[in-house]
Chains A and B, each alone.
Chain A
Amino acid sequence: MSAPAETRIIFKHIDEEGYSNDITCYQKHGGYEILKKAVTAKPEDLRDEVKKSGLRGRGGAGFSCGLKWSFVDRRSGKPIYLIVNADESEPGTFKDRYIIHQDPHQLIEGTMISCFANNVKQAYIYIRGEFPEGPRILETAIQEARDADFVGKNILGTDYSCDIFVHRGAGAYICGEETGLIESLEGKRANPRIKPPYFPAVLGLYQCPTIVNNVETLCHVKHILDMGADEYLKIGTPNNTGTRILCVSGHVKKPGYYEFACGSVTMGQLLNDVCGGPLEGRTFKAVIPGGSSAKILRFGEKFTIKNKDGSTKELAVEDIPMDFDTLAACGTMGGSGGVIVMDDSVNMVDALANINAFYAHESCGQCTPCREGSLWMKKISTRMVKGDARPEDGELIKNVADQIAGRTICAFGEACSWPTQSFVLKFGDEFKAYAETKKSKPTDSLELV
């Protein structure tokens, strides 16, 4: 069975010959028409439409966008802020940057519609510090949109005003965590806030109600209002509506980004048919389906999934449809859509050591389990690859991870412990044997950060 065709909605014009990121090109392709329509509608109707569409956040958690908007405290009398989370930092994820680089007006239109729908007067685009081009492109695009009356004071001749500021991130992974992002935007260290009480929808930026949405999510808003929720619902599967951008990296012949209707493509189709299969002479060993913090899947393992009618079915990794719910049912997550493929040339201890080094470097250091645990895990896995592995290290490192997950201020606790938990759980034999495998050749170990 060959893979279905891509459904390009968000990435419709990405890499398109002759498509440029200026407003003229965007408008030639029908740009800002939806915004023009939206500002004549009632904001609550727009929100209802988004809620009805079943749109789930594309940043990682997959939380319902409509529900998130419905939590916003609209009675406090305080201004409501909208923040575009463009801090795309999850290893293996590279979708938002292409939207920003090649189609920034799509994001601006989506943002302005969402702002209008939520009566937001000020929006911020918080863009990852390591993206030097993005902010320049966005600034130019926003100015174009301002000049054309799509952003700023009294847009499109209405009495609605809303401006967008671009803020460059402070160069840390944790700035992508929504409350860490808010702290950073306020000019502080990006230490995530405790929830309760600091739910952004109530006490967000400057202690005002705040919506934080991923770049891709806001682009979807535009298309939902374009085609209507009913049409949008037809894309994908129930509760997994719309399209997903999948960023495939690692050991496949054709890595890259692909946009599919949610759940329309299986892992096997994606890797074998879309991405051209494994490299010559190799076989797939494992895949991380949703950015490096998602739990790894081992080729060859089987998952028993409950059907709606109560019956069960068995799925191999290749059979898993790339939607939110099935991946969750398989014990991992769709996350940010970053699919990281590893073939039989990879030693899992080496791979984990690399991931652990990343998370130890990115822990903000605020709360104890993540701060101490992430570095401890790094120290253990680094020692292992440097030639001092002990057979019991796998068990120890997993136990350290177990002491982190679920006990921290923000989801970084899970992000840094899920790789270790799943690597050791699924490749425990490699961890046990590592001392033997690598003892004679410590020089081939990786130099870590």
Chain B
Amino acid sequence: MIQPAQPELVTVTIDGKEIAVPKGTNVIEAARLAGTDVPHYCYHPKLSVAGNCRMCLIELGMPMADRATHEPIMDPETGKQKIGWIPHPQIGCATNVVPGMQVKTQSPMVKECREGVMEFLLINHPLDCPICDQAGECKLQEQATGYGRGYSRFIEQKNVKPKRAQLGPRVTLDDERCVLCSRCIRFCQEVAKDDVLGFVDRGSYSTLTCYPGKELKNNYSLNTVDICPVGALTSTDFRFKMRVWFLKQTNSIDTESSVGANTVVWSREGVIYRITPRRNDEVNDTWMADSGRILYKQVQADDRLHQSTVKGQPATLAAVIADAAKLAKAGHVAVVGSGRSSVEEQFLTKRLATTLETETFVVGQTGEGDGLLISADRNPNTRGALVTGLVADVPTAQLDALGAEIDAGRVKTIISVGEDLIAAGLTPAQLDKVALIILSAHGTSTTAVADVVIPTLTVFEKNGTFINQQFRLQKFAQAIPGLTSASNDLVVLDELIAAVGGEASEGDMKSLWKSMGAEIPVFANITYGNLPATGLLLDSSAWDNLNFPEGETLHFKPAAAEASA
């Protein structure tokens, strides 16, 4: 692994505490490093600095020097250089540290500034917290508690603004709650590159809206909801569904593409209510695509499989495993693994194929990359299939080679782990010639004609890891209990392996990773438990010469582009 260059450090004093922070850090971030919270609304670490909310006002001092000689002016009492304090408060977000800078974040002036800004922000705010979706995760609430006066002196009429403006198919705006921080506007301009939001009118009547004839409908529109510090922008999907404090947060990974955006899955009592991005500065910053946020709906989808079957007839898991093993042991088996399976599942799929001494196939899933957080490779774990040895090269979208084997009569049974074989190009006529054993969470045209169907779990119901396009190993955790009528893919694979005479794993992640580390060099010394939340970059040199389909996305440049750059 290549270590990033150490940044140049600058020593500053925050509330009397000396701290060395990287050059270019602003006062908010420097204070964060010093363990002090500088409240703010408009500042966002991944957007340009607007400086408009004025909540981050701090007192700033600089070591004094003689104007003519530039000699430091010393304080005879302390023996240190005298500090010249700027009489007006300064905004922390637009103030970058310089050596010797002094910052007061807790002085009476700062306290008064914050009280003033809080009061101003609340006078025209509807204060409808009891029915507001942002309640519980609202910066206005938190900072009113932390830094406000606690009472109002405002007896005038509040301003009236639109209450339920539909900015686009997924975002609803309550203009009265808006604190005009412009985060959403800057996000659309700078990240989504879809400049559709702006303010109309002036002063306190300023109103957020879409440009005439435009809609906020790009595939990143819901990020505006995430970064809205108040309840102005809400997700039309999540609105009024659940109080956020009841929700459990589970770290997960977006399965839409090989970008592997880090996510948080929010659930309560086995039901998922929303998915939001999780910050990873090396992968997705603080963003994710809208399309990835509705993937939880697959958990309770109508086509979810609830019953293991043999030739369409219900059977117990033990019975179907026995049946499947019988078919597999008859020989002429092909195993179709998946780039959507976890690394652990792929590892066991490979072991199953090895036990059966047979070939493995993987279906490539590609689409157009959007240059941001959806890459051309729509499998979240193609790299996993390479690393676990399921395939030696980037898989193609069609199983033509397998089709040829069937036509030639060399394959009589197919075990497919999660893939729809008809969608992958095998014809119903070809499938008629073979026995089909399908592991799948959802019904497909292939499960409809399969001999053995074993219902499995969605990504939200199990633990595992994916390897993204950067060869970053990232883990996802089980957010909700799996369907009782479905089985964990790892369990099914283990049982299949055991039933065909192979060596099943011990059934837990720890021992599974132990054997993975032993068998696969790049996994050496990795344990599932110790995998950092932001992932671990693997040595990808063994696969550098492959021709991957991905183009440039956020924090990712294809090897070819990187070489030329």
Contact = CB atoms under 8 A, between A and B. Distances in A.
Interface of A: 172, 189, 194, 196-197, 360-369, 371-376, 379-380, 383, 396, 399, 403-404, 406-409
Contacts of A189: 198-199
Interface stretch (B118-126, B373-381, B456-464): B118-126
A126 to B, nearest CB: 19
Contacts of B124: 372, 375
13 contacts: A189-B199, A194-B91, A194-B94, A365-B199, A365-B202, A366-B206, A368-B179, A369-B54, A371-B206, A379-B156, A380-B156, A396-B153, A407-B54
Contact of A369 (B51, B117, B179): B117
Contact of B202 (A361, A368, A369, A408): A361
Given A364-B202, A374-B204, A376-B123, 9 more contacts: A194-B49, A196-B95, A365-B180, A369-B116, A374-B203, A375-B203, A406-B88, A409-B52, A409-B54
Contacts of B204: 360, 363, 365, 371-372, 374-376
Contact of B203 (A194, A196, A364, A380): A364
Contacts of A361: 202-203
Nearest to B204: A375
A364 B180 CA distance: 12
Contacts of B120: 368-369, 371-373, 376, 403
Interface in B139-184: 153-154, 156-157, 159, 179-180
B73 interface: no
B51 A403 contact: no
B20 interface: no
A206 B49 CA distance: 18
Interface residues of B, number: 38
B53 interface: yes
Contacts of A374: 203-204
A197 B199 contact: no
B240 interface: no
B203 A371 contact: yes
A303 B188 CA distance: 54
A367 B53 CA distance: 5
Nearest to A408: B54
Interface of B: 49-55, 57, 87-89, 91, 94-95, 112-113, 116-117, 119-121, 123-124, 153-154, 156-157, 159, 179-180, 198-199, 201-206
Could you say which of B49, B120, B123, B179 has the most chain A C-beta atoms within 10 Å of its C-beta? B120
A267 B265 CA distance: 71
A300 to B, nearest CB: 30
Contacts of A406: 87-89
A376 B154 contact: yes
Nearest to B115: A403
Contact of A172 (B49, B116, B179, B202): B202
Contact of A362 (B49, B112, B203): B203
A409 B93 CA distance: 12
A109 B469 CA distance: 63
A263 B202 CA distance: 38
B88 A407 contact: yes
Contacts of B95: 196
Across the A-B interface, give the 3 residue pairs with the lowest CB-CB distance, nearest first: A403-B116, A365-B206, A372-B120
A363 B89 contact: no
Nearest to A383: B156
Given A365-B205, A368-B121, A407-B89, A197 B94 contact: yes
B204 to A, nearest CB: 4
A374 B116 CA distance: 13
A406 B87 CA distance: 9
A232 B134 CA distance: 63
A308 B205 CA distance: 48
A396 B154 CA distance: 10
A329 B157 CA distance: 39
A215 to B, nearest CB: 25
A396 B124 CA distance: 17
A361 B89 CA distance: 26
Could you say which of A194, A396, A407 has the most chain B C-beta atoms within 10 Å of its C-beta? A407
Contacts of B88: 406-407
Contacts of A373: 120
Contact of A368 (B54, B94, B159, B201): B54
A404 to B, nearest CB: 8
B162 to A, nearest CB: 16
B94 A196 contact: yes
Contacts of A369: 54, 116-117, 120
B476 to A, nearest CB: 40
A407 B94 contact: no
A194 B51 contact: yes
Given A363-B203, A407-B116, A368 B57 contact: no
Nearest to A380: B156
Contacts of B52: 366-368, 409
A402 to B, nearest CB: 8
Contacts of B203: 360-365, 371, 374-375
A341 to B, nearest CB: 28
A207 to B, nearest CB: 13
Nearest to B49: A194
Given A365-B180, A368-B52, A368-B54, A403 B202 contact: no
Contacts of A365: 180, 199, 201-206
A371 B53 CA distance: 10
